[in-house]
Structure 1
Amino acid sequence: MHALFSRIGGISILILSLAACAIGGFLVLERLHSRPRTEDAYLAANIVHMAPEISGRIVSLPIHDNERVVRGQILFVIDPEPYTYRVQKARAQVQTIQAQIDIQTRQVESQVSHAGAEASSVTGARARLALARATQARLAPLEKQGFVTREALDQARTETSTAEANLASAQHAAQAARQAVRSVAPLRADLASAQAVLREAERDLRLTTVRAPCDGIVTDMTIAAGEYATTGKPLFTLVDDEAWWAIANFRETQLPGLSIGQKVKVFAMARPDRPITGTLESINAGVLPDEGVSANGLPKVPRSLNWVRIAQRFPVRIRLDDPPTDLMRIGATVVVVVMR
């Protein structure tokens, strides 16, 4: 009888243990469903490759590798001397053209006045010609009747010819005076071009002092003062410390339970006891598949089939709300738990 009770007790314990395991497994699955999590995650931030927009010798480098800098802080200074000379040269060119415009403007005013006087001479010559023709027209019939001498008529004809010649000469002089009036438009175009060159030179001079575009951390700096900086060539990297993200890779079966704006808890492996809150910002649209890609314009389909299909993982971008400065490092491992 004692052995029977012992056997029944053992079976009961086994049943209770299996039931407890089943209930525990169900609770774990329910928790994973209600609070999706992944350990395949890391920290990320924007980076700025600090490359100068002008070339020149670095004369000042007041920062060091891994140093924190603030927005607007001077990072390095390129020798400004040659760019100062360019500004002076461009400014002198602007002043020269402006002086030429002033001189030519006064000349144009004088030429316009002269052209006006010549135009008045044409008007007078035209009036004298009209008078001479009228006089000749009156004397011609009188000469036939003998009331005026032939000499008087010839005199009238001579005056008409002289008036015609004077009118032609006045018209030619007036046209020459109008053509002599020079326009300042070409010089004004040259002035606009010179002013553009000056603004560009002034901008290059300002760019000799390079400042931090954001709060950040200097990294990968292997240069010193005296290095020659080349336009567009990065000198070091600046990690943007104003915003941090956690990039978490979730299985595709978990994605339907995720939505933009959900609150997230992030646990850094360096300090898992300090949870960091965040907000789910975006879900990646796709990743490159292992199979089914194209090669040489044709789809590549494998001949063998792997019967064990593993769910694909997609990156989810989570913006950290108030990240602790001492834990923020690009690539640091974190655990991400989505709150519902």
Structure 2
Amino acid sequence: MKKLVSTFLRFAATSALAVLAVFVGWRLWVYYEEEPWTRDGRVRAEVVSVAPDVSGLVSEVLVHDNQRVRKGDVLFRIDRERFDLALRQAEATLEGRIAALEVTSKDLTRYRTLDARNNIAVSKQQVENVTGTQAQAKAAYDQALAERDLARLNLKRSEVRASVNGLMTNFELRPGNYVLAGKGVAALIDEDSLHVDGYFEETKLPLIHVGDRVAVRLMGESQDLYGRVEGIAGGIEDRDRSSGANLLANVNPTFNWVRLAQRIPVRIALDPTPSDIRLVAGRTATVVINPSNGGKPKFSIFSW
């Protein structure tokens, strides 16, 4: 009897282990081959290159590296003395052009009045000459007005402001540095554009749809983030194809028995993030998508 019980227990234990192994293998197969998840995720954000629109010496720096700024905040100022002088010069030139335009306009009015009365003292040639002089004065006035507006714009642009809400990074500018128009001096991370890009195997794309709920776990964090699929990339680079010298396609031959699935970027818009989780562009993440319903996806031990 004892031998029979012992045999039965061994058989039951073996059967239980076999069933457990089959279940674990099935779950692994489902997670690795069927369910859309990936450990290849990255936190991404738009990066704005902070560059002045005018050249000059930096006179004042109002922010520091890694400081959070709001759209419209002044980041630094360029010495405005030269721009003040340029504006004054442009305004003086404009006043002279206005005076000249008024004189020629009055002359033109007077000559046209005399011509309308058939005054023999005024010839058609004189009227045409005065008309041409007035047109030249008007063109000179328009040019002076544009130069005045440009001088005002340059003076305004001597203050460099933040174009988006974000975080300054790699900012080492100091008063006395000379900056060039159009040359970046720092990077501004647009915090309003923070999102996650998950790079999914192409075999899992049929299970991914815009609007699907997503769970994201950043490396080093125990708390999950949630969001939704915002879009799927429309194309990736074909590294096996290039253009030859005669502009014909140059395709590299392959001899692989195993074809590796390409990774397709999937953009994920995040829900409001807890304040204790720091979203840093470039952080790695694990991404799980729930294509079946609108509930929150959950991580499995097999997905991490």
Is 1:310 matched with 2:299?
no
> What is the CA distance between 1:186 and its match in structure 2?
1.9
**Counterpart-to-counterpart distance in 2, 1:246 and 1:59:** 39
Structure 1 residues 247 and 182, CA gap change in structure 2 (3 angstroms): same
Structure 1 residues 323 and 295, CA gap change in structure 2 (3 angstroms): farther
> What is the CA distance between 1:4 and its match in structure 2?
5.2
**Counterpart-to-counterpart distance in 2, 1:210 and 1:327:** 27
Q: Which residue type is aligned with residue 253 of structure 1?
A: T
What residue in structure 2 maps to residue 141 of structure 1? none
**Counterpart-to-counterpart distance in 2, 1:6 and 1:264:** 49
Superposition pairs of residues 172-191 of structure 1, within 5 angstroms = 173-175=121-123, 178-179=126-127, 182-183=130-131, 184-191=134-141
Query: Any idea what the Cα deviations from partners look like across 1:135-192, whole Å, max 9, x if unmatched?
Result: xxxxxxxxxxxxxxxxxxxxxxxxxxxxxxxxxxx5xx45368547612222112211
Is 1:330 matched with 2:278?
no
What residue in structure 1 maps to residue 53 of structure 2? 53
**Counterpart-to-counterpart distance in 2, 1:285 and 1:278:** 21
Superposition pairs of residues 8-47 of structure 1, within 5 angstroms = 8-30=8-30, 36-47=36-47
Structure 1 residues 222 and 178, CA gap change in structure 2 (3 angstroms): closer
Q: Which moved more, 1:184-193 or 1:27-36?
A: 27-36
- What SS does the corresponding residue of 1:288 show, helix, strand or coil? coil
Query: Any idea what the Cα deviations from partners look like across 1:307-338, whole Å, max 9, x if unmatched?
Result: 23222211111111213454110111111111
Contact kept? 1:36, 1:338, Cα under 8 Å: yes
- What SS does the corresponding residue of 1:111 show, helix, strand or coil? helix
Contact kept? 1:111, 1:181, Cα under 8 Å: no
**Counterpart-to-counterpart distance in 1, 2:123 and 2:235:** 77
**Counterpart-to-counterpart distance in 2, 1:178 and 1:116:** 13
Superposition pairs of residues 58-77 of structure 1, within 5 angstroms = 58-77=58-77
Structure 2 length-normalised TM: 0.85
Q: Which residue type is aligned with residue 285 of structure 1?
A: G
Is 1:253 matched with 2:198?
no
Q: Which moved more, 1:23-32 or 1:89-98?
A: 23-32
Structure 1 residues 10 and 330, CA gap change in structure 2 (3 angstroms): same
What residue in structure 1 maps to residue 226 of structure 2? 277
- What SS does the corresponding residue of 1:182 show, helix, strand or coil? helix
Is 1:236 matched with 2:186?
yes
**Counterpart-to-counterpart distance in 2, 1:224 and 1:71:** 21
**Counterpart-to-counterpart distance in 2, 1:291 and 1:13:** 53
What residue in structure 1 maps to residue 302 of structure 2? none
Task: Let me know the Cα RMSD of the aligned residues.
Answer: 2.5
Q: Which residue type is aligned with residue 237 of structure 1?
A: A
Structure 1 residues 180 and 236, CA gap change in structure 2 (3 angstroms): closer
Q: Which residue of 198, 214, 230 maps to 2:148?
A: 198
Contact kept? 1:111, 1:180, Cα under 8 Å: no
Contact kept? 1:52, 1:233, Cα under 8 Å: yes
Largest Rg, 1 or 2 = 1
Contact kept? 1:112, 1:178, Cα under 8 Å: no
**Counterpart-to-counterpart distance in 2, 1:180 and 1:40:** 77
Structure 1 residues 267 and 178, CA gap change in structure 2 (3 angstroms): same
> What is the CA distance between 1:301 and its match in structure 2?
2.6
Q: Which residue of 285, 299, 302 maps to 2:250?
A: 299
Q: Which residue type is aligned with residue 36 of structure 2?
A: P
| Structure 1: unaligned runs, 5 residues or longer | 121-169
> What is the CA distance between 1:251 and its match in structure 2?
1.0
- What SS does the corresponding residue of 2:261 show, helix, strand or coil? coil
- What SS does the corresponding residue of 2:47 show, helix, strand or coil? strand
> What is the CA distance between 1:253 and its match in structure 2?
1.2
Query: Any idea what the Cα deviations from partners look like across 1:79-108, whole Å, max 9, x if unmatched?
Result: 111111111111111111111121222333
Contact kept? 1:217, 1:239, Cα under 8 Å: yes
Q: Which residue type is aligned with residue 333 of structure 1?
A: T
Contact kept? 2:108, 2:127, Cα under 8 Å: no
**Counterpart-to-counterpart distance in 2, 1:301 and 1:106:** 78
